[in-house]
Amino acid sequence: MDNQDFLNAMKAGRMSRRDILQMLTAAGLTMTMLPVGRAKAADGEAIYFTWEGYNDPGFHPGYTAKHGAEPEGPVFGDVEEALTKVRSGFQVDVVHPCNLDLQRWREADVLQAIDTGRLSNWGNLFESLKKLPYAQGDKGEQFFIPVDWGNTSILYRPDLFDVKEESWTMLWDERYAGQLSMAADATESVAIAGIVLGVKDPFNLTDEELVKAKELLVKQKPLMRFYWDSNSAVEQALASGELVAATGWNSSVVTLTGQGVNIKYANPKEGIMSYCCGLVMTKDAPHPDKAYDLIDAMISPEGGKWLIEAQGYGHSNAKSFDLVEEKILAERGLPKDPTQFFGQGIFQQPTLNVDKVQKLFEEVKAGA
Amino acid sequence: MSTQAALNFPATDAVAITARPEWLDGFWLIAPTLLIVIGMMVVPLVGIIVVSFWTQTGFNIEATWTLDNYRVLFTPEGALYRILIVKSLWMSLTATIAVVLLAYPMAYFMAFRIERAKLIWIILLTVPFWTSYLLRIFAWKVILGFNGVINSGLKAVGLIDKPLEFLLYNPTSVTITLAHAWAAYAVLPIYVSLEKIDRSYLEAATDLGDSKWKRFWRITFPLSLPGTIAAILLVFIPTVGDYITPTLVGGTSGIMIGNSIVTQFGKASNAPLGAALSCIMMLAITLAVCAFLAAIGRKRLKAADL
């Protein structure tokens, strides 16, 4: 029955209720099938699953030049959420976790080894970053391509916070009750408590140490304005003076300084906390060839230049530092070689007992 | 099929139709809806209930039946969930009371005081709801914030010289935000039930000497009960499970059970415990609603023609 027949039949009242229902069902079914058909038909670009703000074209200049289009960029709020999605069948090519999360991603068995021979920039990456724990498989196959590295430290307002000595204990300073904040991140918060306690391995506390860490976090809770869950939340609050000190990342220093806010990034006496994030490829990546192009573009010196200048983070490609002016590097507090830098501070390590740590932080937040 | 066939029904076909039981016709009519309800609501719900009796360590979900997830609630370890459940029920109860107290006068005004262009008023009421829920929460962040509308207003007037910190990031700000976010859901049912009231009852009451207040309590209010009850349920049930509002405006003290459930499914990778907490909340809400309806009394509901 074509459209005209259908309309005529309707007008003349010649359609039974069943005929109409039949037509509607057919129409409904067709509508539901449409998106499926389209997704299959389209060739599509590499799908890059990342943190908000990292899908900037500047970060992968080579990809756009080669394919004439941007990779698709779904974003996640935290990496555990990303892992849950990937495990439940969300199809992506490349994901952007950090070394701290690698163990979980490896255990989840969702990654495929990356043939580093296909990456033209591989040879210029810092050796120490290539061999981070869990980055390589038993046979030396590479699962993790390091890209960006940076710090977690304390952002504070020197005009509002009277600091005697830069230390992680600043986050427990009772003089500034209600004006402090930490990230709503269990592993990091517990690790910071561990650093303050002066334990041997803040990322893997013993049961006894966990009890003490919890006490410390419970003591800290009333001093907190909130636990932040987005960069912009902590930046706005610091800019307005609502917060005087909070944990934060390099990019916030760049953003806030750019806004003319008087902000300092602490170099705590116990050591600054550093991490490295990078790229992994999923087992059933729908566009593996394009995924290689994307990874190679992101570890290129040009991608690194963008990262250092726009976000203030370090890059894994040694050559990218040659493209950036010395002055800009100094402003961002970035050394040329991360190896020595990481040796001085506290490098984030995978936490083995994530469940316990999560539960502990939940209890702190719920106030029990 | 062609139009021709639809035109000339053969006699045998007609017989077949009349011979078919009537309920089957009805069944076919609701079948699409039924499928959607089963697929989108019943199956996931059963899934949640089933998972709540399983266990999970790391990535592995073990499908052996156990009551452990429910038992946790009665151990010292479960104290935090008990606290959160009670707190969530309390917070959304306060929000519900606030919403209904605000919504009733609005609905009353629309039903009894507006003579012309009621539609415009209804549209005006729903205008804020054309934006996303998230944006409305952010709006409250702007209003209550450190340099927000209220603080800078009070500062400009000279009432305060330091921003008030208690406005945001606590259970009260969560309640305020929830109350605003769900206001329209409360106004509309109350408005409808007020609109339905036969005005001649009110005239009769006035003729028989009732004062305005007495008339309201004896006629208007009881007759608007069905709408008010609907409003209470429409606000209470969804707000208990909210987790976005507490995340954004709750600060360190304003989190609710929804946040804990989200953590179980996401970060803590303990879906069975998350599922069990969801089931417990469903049960708690059902019990609370039943208790509430019982307290209102069946007779009254019947009289009000619910």
pLDDT tens for A274-292 read 999 999 999 989 999 999 9
Pairwise CA distance, residues A325 & A75, whole Å: 31
Q: Is the dihedral of CA A25, A27, A31, A37 positive or negative?
A: positive
The model's pLDDT over A13-52, given as tens digits with 9 standing for 90+, comes to: 666 666 766 766 666 666 555 554 444 434 789 999 998 8
CB contact under 8 A, B80 and A107: no
Which residue of B4, B151, B244, B252 is the best one to mutate when testing the A interface, meaning the one whose CB has the most A CBs within 10 A?
Answer: B252
Q: Which residue of B has its CA nearest to A6?
A: B3
What does the buried/exposed string (b/e) look like for A201-232 if buried means 16 or more CB atoms within 10 Å of the residue's CB? ebbbbeeebbebbbebbeebeebbbbbbeebe
Cα separation, B164 vs B146, whole angstroms: 7
Q: Which of A306, A308, A311, A307 is nearest to A255 (CA)?
A: A311
pLDDT digits (tens, 9 = 90+) for A206-231: 999 999 999 999 999 999 999 998 88
Contact, A121 vs A139, CB < 8 A?
A: no
- In the chain, the amino acid numbered A103 is Q
Cβ-based contacts of B57 with chain A (< 8 Å): 355
Backbone angles phi, psi at A161, to 5 degrees: -115, 115
CB contact under 8 A, A78 and B255: no
Which among B212, B215, B190 is positioned nearest to B111, based on CA atoms?
Answer: B190
For residues A322 and A340, the model is more confident at A322
Residues of A in contact with B250 (CB under 8 A): 226
* More confident of the two residues A49 and A4: A49
Is the pLDDT score of A317 beyond 60?
A: yes
Is the pLDDT assigned to residue A202 strictly greater than 90? yes
- Within 10 angstroms of residue B172's Cβ, the number of other Cβ atoms is 17
Which residue among B80, B147, B252 sits closest to A240, beta carbon to beta carbon?
B147
Q: Which residue in chain A is spatially nearest to B2 when comparing CA positions?
A: A1
Tokens of B289: 């609603």
Per-residue pLDDT at B252: 87
The mean per-residue pLDDT over the stretch B10-33 comes to: 71
Which residue in A148, A81, A135, A77 sits closest to A103, CA to CA? A135
Which residue type, as a one-letter code, is found at position B204? A
Here the tokens at position A278 are: 């990078």
Q: Which two tokens stand for residue B172?
A: 């009260």
**Per-residue model confidence (pLDDT) at position B5:** 47
Determine contact, residues B271/B44, Cβ cutoff 8 Å.
no
**B247 closest CB neighbour out of A107, A229, A362:** A229
> What is residue A148's predicted lDDT score, i.e. its pLDDT?
94
Give the HSE-up count for residue A355: Cα atoms under 13 Å, Cβ half-sphere.
9
CB contact under 8 A, B3 and A5: yes
3-state helix, strand, coil in chain A (%, to 5): 50, 15, 35
Alpha-carbon dihedral angle through residues A32, A36, A41, A45, given to the nearest 10 degrees = 130
Which residues in chain A are contacts of B32 at CB distance < 8 A? 25, 28
Structural contact between residues B87 and B240, judged by C-beta atoms closer than 8 angstroms: no
Contact A355 B268 (CB under 8 A): yes
Provide the 3-class DSSP secondary structure of residue B146: coil
Q: pLDDT value at position B3? A: 47
Pull the structure tokens for residue A23. Answer: 């037509």
Complex-level ipTM = 0.76
In angstroms, what separates the C-alpha of A22 from chain B's closest C-alpha? 10
Task: Tell me the DSSP string of A153-202.
Answer: EEEE-TTT---SS--GGGGG-GGGTTSEEEES-HHHHHHHHHHHHT-S-T
Chain B residues with at least one Cβ partner in A under 8 Å: 1-3, 6-7, 28-29, 32, 57-59, 79-81, 83-84, 145-147, 163, 165, 169, 247, 250-253, 255, 259-260, 263, 265-270
H runs (alpha helix) in B55-78: 68-71
pLDDT of residue B2: 45
Q: Could you tell me how many residues make up chain B? A: 306
In the block, residue with structure tokens 């009289």: B303
d(C-alpha A155, C-alpha B97), whole Å: 41
Tell me which residue in A225, A240, A358 faces B268 most closely, judged by beta carbons: A358
Residue B10 pLDDT > 60, yes or no?
A: no
Residues forming a β-bridge with A183: A228
pLDDT surpassing 60 at residue A98: yes
Chain B residues with CB inside 8 Å of A28's CB? Answer: 32
Share of chain A above pLDDT 70, in %: 89
pLDDT in tens, B107-159: 999 999 988 888 898 888 888 888 888 999 999 998 998 888 999 999 999 89
Residue A355: closest C-alpha in chain B: B268
Strand partners, A274: A151, A347
Question: What is the C-alpha separation between B15 and A142, in angstroms, rounded?
Answer: 73
Residue A210 pairs with which residues in a beta bridge? Answer: none
Quote the CA–CA distance of A340 and A127 in Å, as a whole number: 12
